[in-house]
Amino acid sequence: MIVGIVGGGQLARMLALAGYPLDFEFLILDPVPDASAAPLGAHLCGNYNDRALLADLAKRADVVTYEFENVPQESIKYLAEHTAVHPSHHTLAIARDRMREKTMFRELGIPTAPFAEVNSRSDLENAVAEIGLPAVLKTRTLGYDGKGQTVLRSPADLDTAWKQLGSMPLILEGYIPFDREISVIAVRGLHGETKFYPISENTHRDGVLLLSTSRPDDPMQQQAQNYAKRLLDSLNYVGVLALELFQVGETLLANEMAPRVHNSGHWTIEGAETSQFENHLRAILGLPLGATTPVGYVAMVNFIGTIPKPEQVLALPGAHLHDYGKEARPGRKLGHATLRAQNEKMLAEGINQLLTLAQPEIKI
């Protein structure tokens, strides 16, 4: 089977690594000549809207998937007209638009922070009046890792924010003083079967995920899973879906969903019976889903902007290095390490050591 992936970053790379043992081959569409996933498949090197490359991809691939939401909508639509594409074009259209996404959450009875559509300066005034401050003004599309958003703390912030973002369709969301950020990685097969990984507790720095941990029997597991299941079934979804939520007391508020494998699920490579990458491939190819049961106590630390020497990571007991082979740039995700331990105490010790390697100035 030949799997096409739109986007050749680390998610595509880890998908391909998970797919070789199942004897899948990969076609990678990415404009960057040294894309992270390029060595692991045939590289269609060109823009995401290059019609000739898209036609080639559609012709050769048995199924096409994508590793990021911001791929041009028309490209996915074109591909879907010529081959199987999972998750669907329809799902992507919702997931890439915060307004449609939040509206869907609301329609499915999944709690969210208060939100309002903002298309004009007066919309913004009205939204602030309704939601109150602090609040977060976000672009409806194209935001990721904290980009395309700004926090409004006082009425004086509105001018600056409007100047910064006002040219784009926006959404204003209530600022949530959450207790923790969690995510649930869910997967739905071609025939409707669903599975859910143990939820991840996520810590961000400067808007970028730094640390994910997962504990057995998290008290919020069932609630998170129920919300994810509503989304999966309602979208007739195929593949892995990540749902990010804020926990406030005993309540979960949905923040956003990602129609793809997700950074907060990287720990599943070593820490679950079947990784999110393998299960995404199993799902989109109509194969039985694999067990999502945890294997040991696990955590994942991202290497952002800088990556330790391999010998530093590999010397830590239970640490597993994933270097994406990318050139270092500030703020860029260059790799991660999963830590697998036999108990919580060993895990906590290992996390501290990994965080010291990842960002020497930070301790948790």
The two structure tokens encoding residue 59: 């012709």
Q: Out of 318, 339, 350, 358, which residue is the one contacting a copy of itself (CB under 8 A)?
A: 318
Give the footprint of a copy of itself on residues 257-316 (CB under 8 A): 273-274, 282, 287-288, 290-291, 295-296, 310-311, 314-315
Task: Please report how close the Cβ of residue 154 comes to a copy of itself at its closest, in angstroms.
Answer: 46
Closest CA to 32 of 58, 59, 14, 13: 13
Q: How far is CA 153 from the centre of its chain?
A: 27
Q: Out of 324, 333, 350, 358, which residue is the one contacting a copy of itself (CB under 8 A)?
A: 324
At 25, which amino acid appears? E
Whichever of 31 and 296 has its CB closer to a copy of itself, that residue is 296
Neighbouring-strand partners of residue 247:
180, 252
Say if residues 6 and 71 touch (Cβ distance below 8 Å): yes
Over the window 102 to 141, marking each residue x when it contacts a copy of itself by CB under 8 A and - when it does not, the resulting string is ----------------------------------------
Q: Out of 22, 55, 129, 362, which residue is the one contacting a copy of itself (CB under 8 A)?
A: 22
Counting residues that bind a copy of itself (by CB under 8 A) gives 33
Q: Out of 13, 86, 102, 229, which residue is the one contacting a copy of itself (CB under 8 A)?
A: 13
Q: Does 225 count as an annotated binding residue?
A: no
- By CB neighbour count within 10 A (0-12 exposed, 13-18 middle, 19+ buried), where does 237 fall? buried
Q: What are phi and psi of 320, to 5 degrees?
A: -125, 120
Task: Please report how close the Cβ of residue 349 comes to a copy of itself at its closest, in angstroms.
Answer: 15
Q: Out of 23, 217, 250, 327, which residue is the one contacting a copy of itself (CB under 8 A)?
A: 23
Q: Does 256 count as an annotated binding residue?
A: yes
Place of tokens 């109150």: 132
Q: Does 62 bind a copy of itself (CB under 8 A)?
A: no
Neighbouring-strand partners of residue 28:
5, 43
Neighbours of 11 (CB within 10 A): 25
Say if residues 239 and 187 touch (Cβ distance below 8 Å): yes
| C-alpha span between 122 and 127 (Å, rounded) | 8
Sheet hosting strand 170-174, strand order edge to edge: 115-118, 170-174, 135-139, 149-152
Task: Please report how close the Cβ of residue 87 comes to a copy of itself at its closest, in angstroms.
Answer: 21
Q: Out of 93, 321, 346, 348, which residue is the one contacting a copy of itself (CB under 8 A)?
A: 321
Q: Does 17 bind a copy of itself (CB under 8 A)?
A: yes
Whichever of 17 and 248 has its CB closer to a copy of itself, that residue is 17
Q: Does 132 count as an annotated binding residue?
A: no
Q: Out of 4, 41, 259, 265, which residue is the one contacting a copy of itself (CB under 8 A)?
A: 41
Whichever of 223 and 274 has its CB closer to a copy of itself, that residue is 274
Q: Out of 40, 79, 128, 245, which residue is the one contacting a copy of itself (CB under 8 A)?
A: 40
Q: Does 25 bind a copy of itself (CB under 8 A)?
A: yes
Q: Out of 134, 157, 325, 346, which residue is the one contacting a copy of itself (CB under 8 A)?
A: 325
Closest CA to 132 of 70, 192, 174: 174
Whichever of 13 and 96 has its CB closer to a copy of itself, that residue is 13
| C-alpha span between 335 and 212 (Å, rounded) | 14
Q: Which CA distances in Å does 139 have to 8, 136, 142?
A: 25, 10, 7
Task: Please report how close the Cβ of residue 23 comes to a copy of itself at its closest, in angstroms.
Answer: 4
Q: Which CA distances in Å does 309 have to 121, 282, 319, 352?
A: 49, 34, 13, 17
At 178, which amino acid appears? F
Place of tokens 């730094």: 210
Residues comprising the binding site for ATP? 98, 138, 143-149, 173-176, 181, 204, 255-256
- Which residues contribute to the annotated binding site? 98, 138, 143-149, 173-176, 181, 204, 255-256
Residues lying near a copy of itself in the complex (CB under 8 A): 13, 17, 20-23, 25, 39-41, 273-274, 282, 287-288, 290-291, 295-296, 310-311, 314-315, 317-318, 320-325, 335, 340
